[in-house]
Structure 1
């Protein structure tokens, strides 16, 4: 495999992961470039699990940038991109409004997660990686991946339930919206 073939095979996964983690197209593009510079400077032809290795490099680059610039987290909603991708077909105005509200709520919940938990959720649901691939990518045991994913989903569920009960109380107190 040539460097070009390697780049063509993995650049979309790397970019998508970087974009989802950073919520900034320019930063994602820059990091994607940096990831492949890092890959090509190493002995990538002798790596056994190339995708997991490249994704680990991408995730490390993302986490390093997030650590350097914590204010980056508030710049864009990370779910806007997903919403744009799934709104390809024509939908009713009501459906679009409901989807935007749900996407904004999920984006808010994901931004509140610690970086380690957000990384696992991103790789699992955006990168569509298996537990084993995530473990290899992040260099952590599969059990740790499962516990982080469980913890992240538990935190998000608890916040959703809290928000839901708030709206129900508001509806009961003030009538239907």
Structure 2
């Protein structure tokens, strides 16, 4: 049985704008959450969502309807995030001299805390530390940890999205978890 998103992708490829709009509705929030987790910045996440759908629209003829549409769109979004993270790391350094009058110090690139005061009270110190630790993961582990634990993808789906062997995914997932464990132990002390 053909999945609805695959059917919609075929219709959109044939010029059905309504089908494409349905695909956007189906995936915009999922892609936003993925991008926000990877980028830790609302504006950049929104940009990734827009660019993802632009790429989907302009490359629909390249979509192989024998593969899951969700795998294809997640691959596009994840690669866009990874590219932006690489550019960000190459461009901005903690040690770089900046011109604060133009608002280009390191702190201006950090995500704003847009939570309401009530949400800030609810957000525990542990949750905040976990989020910060995920943000600090090396990019080769970060995307895999986010796809596995925050997007709830299987190892096979992650392998398909990132076009990597499952053994590599397992290794990087293990190393990512170890990195997180060590970071959290530094913050809270070893668990007993």
> What TM-score, normalized by structure 1, do the two folds share?
0.76
Q: When you count helix as a share of all residues, which structure comes out higher?
A: 1
Q: Secondary structure at the match of 2:53?
A: helix
Contact 1:19 1:25 in 2 (8 A): yes
Return the match for 1:60 from 79, 84, 88.
79
Check if 1:19 corresponds to 2:36: yes
> What TM-score, normalized by structure 2, do the two folds share?
0.70
Distance 1:63 1:101 in 2: 28
Distance 1:138 1:21 in 2: 14
Return the match for 2:179 from 137, 155, 161.
155
Q: What is aligned with 1:114?
A: 138
Could you say if the C-alpha distance between residues 165 and 29 of structure 1 is closer, same or farther in structure 2, counting changes exceeding 3 Å? closer
Gaps of 5+ in 1: 88-92, 169-177
Check if 1:103 corresponds to 2:127: yes
Contact 2:42 2:111 in 1 (8 A): no
Q: Secondary structure at the match of 2:137?
A: coil
Check if 1:141 corresponds to 2:160: no
For the aligned residues, what is the CA RMSD?
2.8
Range moving further from structure 2, 60-69 or 152-161: 152-161
